């Protein structure tokens, strides 16, 4: 439940950053997403193809993929996982697990893509740039602003260390690796939790009580066995009543004259015995 709530918060943060870039509500420029007027014709298409494979064209690619995917899907699947944890619904929990694993692989692909971009273009991509800027203290921000830099956009990688004041090329991969390892551990734990909710240790499913006791499964099985024994020895006896019903069909009542024929007609109770054979 806490992991789902954390993903809801992370997704809301990514949505906020995307909204800031698109709408310009908290920034002074709307050019972060490369908004341009519409263009038609072969010349425009040729320029688009050239920019698509250039460093400038790929500058915001991983940023858009990460912030849009985590922002939209994080909110959606975070709510599903939160409700699944509250209601112990294994379908919702497994859906959140699938999203968690997908995000783990997505972050790995984005990290590799950003590292390749840094090596080829010698500047930071937008996705990595936003992460590194979170660790810059106020003093170094003031020095950057005094030198005319608003942020790390188009700053060569060999100058970034002097501007931010730390080994960014060591800190960033280390933190990224730690996050990936933690996410992998949580994915394993979520899978185990989903299996317990689905079936439980002794087939109890969602009725399995969460406990920190090391012998909880043994105690649950012992309680089930005791209940089964009690059900066997203290069960209510059910005797067969078929013989009594058959006796009632033969002679349910006798006439006052003590004759052998029943005192009631067929259809009222039981069945009428066959008539005596004629002489």
Dump pLDDT digits (tens) for 139-152. Answer: 888 888 888 888 88
Residue at 122 is within a domain: yes
- Which structural domain range is residue 86 located in? 2-33+51-207
Q: What pLDDT is attached to residue 223?
A: 84
- Helix (H), strand (E) counts: the chain: 10, 0
The two structure tokens encoding residue 274:
């066959």
Residue at 218 is within a domain: no
Residue at 40 is within a domain: no
Q: Which has the closest alpha carbon to 21: 12, 30, 34, 8?
A: 30
Distance CA 14, CA 9 (A): 9
Residue at 144 is within a domain: yes
Q: How many domains does the chain have?
A: 1
Eight-class DSSP state of 205? G
- The helix (run of H) or strand (run of E) holding residue 223 is helix 216-233
Q: Is 25 helix (H, G, I), strand (E, B) or coil?
A: coil
Residue at 158 is within a domain: yes
Distance CA 58, CA 125 (A): 8
Q: What pLDDT is attached to residue 105?
A: 93
Residue at 232 is within a domain: no
Residues of the chain with pLDDT under 50: 25-35, 254-256, 266-271
Query: pTM above the 0.85 mark?
Result: no
Residue at 223 is within a domain: no
Q: What pLDDT is attached to residue 121?
A: 86
Residue at 247 is within a domain: no
Q: What pLDDT is attached to residue 266?
A: 47
Query: DSSP characters for 133-163?
Result: HTT--HHHHHHHHHTT-SSSTT-BHHHHHHH
């Amino acid at each position: 439940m806490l992991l789902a709530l954390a993903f809801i918060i992370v997704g809301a943060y990514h949505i906020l950053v995307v909204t800031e870039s698109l709408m310009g509500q908290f920034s002074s420029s709307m050019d972060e997403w490369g908004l341009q007027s519409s263009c038609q014709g072969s010349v425009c298409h040729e320029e688009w193809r050239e920019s698509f494979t250039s460093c400038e064209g790929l500058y915001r690619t991983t940023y858009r993929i990460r912030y849009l995917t985590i922002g939209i899907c994080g909110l959606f699947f975070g709510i599903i996982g939160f409700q699944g944890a509250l209601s112990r619904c294994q379908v919702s929990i497994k859906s959140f697990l699938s999203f968690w694993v997908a995000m783990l692989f997505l972050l790995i692909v984005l990290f590799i893509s950003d590292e390749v971009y840094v090596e080829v273009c010698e500047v930071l991509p937008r996705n990595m740039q936003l992460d590194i800027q979170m660790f810059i203290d106020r003093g170094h921000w003031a020095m950057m602003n005094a030198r005319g830099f608003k942020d790390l956009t188009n700053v060569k990688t060999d100058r970034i260390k002097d501007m931010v004041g730390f080994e960014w090329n060591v800190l960033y991969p280390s933190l990224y690796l730690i996050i990936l390892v933690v996410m992998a551990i949580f994915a394993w734990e979520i899978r185990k939790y989903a299996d317990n909710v689905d079936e439980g240790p002794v087939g109890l499913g969602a009725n399995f009580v969460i406990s920190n006791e090391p012998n909880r499964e043994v105690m649950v099985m012992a309680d089930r066995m005791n209940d089964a024994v009690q059900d066997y020895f203290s069960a209510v006896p059910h005797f067969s009543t078929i013989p009594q019903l058959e006796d009632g069909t033969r002679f349910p009542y006798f006439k006052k004259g003590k004759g052998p024929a029943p005192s009631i007609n067929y259809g009222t109770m039981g069945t009428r015995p066959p008539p005596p054979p004629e002489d």
